[in-house]
Amino acid sequence: MSISVPLNTTLTLSPSSSLVPSLSLFSPISSSAAVSSCGISRKCLRMVTSCVSSAQSSVKNGAATDSVSVVGRELIRLGLPSKGRMAEDSSNLLKDCQLFVKQVNPRQYVAQIPQLPNTEVWFQRPKDIVRKLLSGDLDLGIVGLDIVNEFGQGNNDLIIVHEALNFGDCHLSLAIPNYGIFENINSLKELSEMPQWTEERPLRVATGFTYLGPKFMKENGIKHVAFSTADGALEAAPAMGIADAILDLVSSGTTLKENNLKEIKGGVVLESQAALVASRRALTERKGALDTVHEILERFEAHLKADGQFTVVANMRGTDAEEVAERVQTQPLLSGLQGPTISPVYCKRDGKVSIEYYAIVICVPKKALYQSVQQLRAVGGSGVLVSPLTYIFDEDTPRWSQLLSNLGI
């Protein structure tokens, strides 16, 4: 297989920007600078050499090695995106779960969550969240699955605690022009079989995903591909003649269409949305980390399960609860999550307490709300009350059990 990468493309990823020194520190210097640099003490040079040696010994194949320890601090660090829609949605999710991020100054990169006193928040770029989870500088993080896979590169220390936080939905996909030699190409198989691609003239793909891109092509047995990195609007690359195809994140697909590009069958690399990610070492070694993750996970699960659900309460005449239940069960939308729940409504008439009505309580999804109300009315329901649900706590959180299993606990 011939997958090539331009020389100016960097494929080796650093788990922490603080570990690897900039190459510009070691670039040639002018003679005047050389004279002034003679004043640098040997002690400073020894410190630089020590830092470089430490960085080289703690990084291997672009990921932190097992020698990195999580001990040395007591606070648990949660990494959140520092800007953009993902940052806003992450903050809103925490707020909806009664976890309020308190940031004294919007320019500060550290904040607190009063409800989790042993935890501090660090605002970082998404790719740096993954890198710092690997280096041990962060313990938890909210980041897209695309970034986890691109910068985590399958590292076993990254563990997905919750893979579907219901925002940041997109997919990483290959897109080609819908004109010229690609006009009748509609699948990855057809693209790979085009005779134009040779070792001398490979298929040129522009992307920012320099790990997932080559990996995807190799797994699909596609030969003669050259990847180039690019920032910004990749959609312009084919029209400019600097690439034949692009590999990029797609949400609605509108931008692709507006730039005369199309997705092809079999060209989706992965589906992505926001996820709660953790360091395996932190969960097993840092005191209190597992308990904190348990609380965050329970809050997330309860809120996300309740999202879009409504509680519907109605009164209904009947001889007894069983007879009312039979009437309700004849309507397909009134079964609810585990219901319906039916309880007597007591009233006092002629000095005596009697039961004339029964209260029916069900939970229904928002999209079926009006139809559910209609069906309640059809079987004699009246005085219908509707309120949104905030949390649905199960007896146990399935993802918690799965997490413990993944950790071998």
15-169+273-308+391-409 and 171-270 in the same fold: yes
Which of 3-17, 25-39, 60-74, 233-247 holds the top average pLDDT?
233-247
- Mean residue pLDDT across the chain: 84
Phi first, then psi, for residue 43 (nearest 5°) are -60, -45
Rounded to an integer, the average pLDDT of 69-92 is 89
Q: Which residues pair with 111 in a beta bridge?
A: 121
- Extents of the domains making up the chain: 15-169+273-308+391-409, 171-270, 309-388
Question: Which comes out higher in pLDDT, residue 130 or 336?
Answer: 130
The reported pTM is 0.77
Interatomic CA distance for residues 28 and 76, integer angstroms? 42
Distance CA 202, CA 221 (A): 14
pLDDT of 108 reads 87
DSSP state, 102? B
Closest CA to 268 of 214, 211, 191, 188: 188
> How many Å separate Cα 55 from the centre of its chain?
29
Quick one: DSSP state of residue 264? Answer: E
Whole-angstrom Cα Rg for the chain: 29
148-198 pLDDT, tens per residue?
Answer: 999 999 999 999 999 999 999 999 999 999 999 999 999 999 999 999 999
Homologous superfamily of domain range 15-169+273-308+391-409: Periplasmic binding protein-like II (3.40.190.10)
How far separated are the first and last CA of the chain, in Å rounded? 42
Q: Does 25 have pLDDT greater than 90? A: no
Give 286-335 pLDDT, tens digit per residue: 999 999 999 999 999 999 999 999 999 999 998 899 999 888 888 887 86
| Average pLDDT estimate for 2-7 | 44
pLDDT for 368 beyond 70:
yes
Residue 70 has pLDDT above 80, yes or no: no
Q: Which CATH class is domain 309-388?
A: alpha beta
> What is the spatial distance between Cα 52 and Cα 57, in angstroms, rounded to a whole number?
9
In this structure, which CATH number among 3.40.50.300, 3.40.50.12640, 1.20.1730.10, 3.40.190.10 belongs to the domain 171-270?
A: 3.40.190.10
Please report the pLDDT score of residue 351 as a whole number: 82
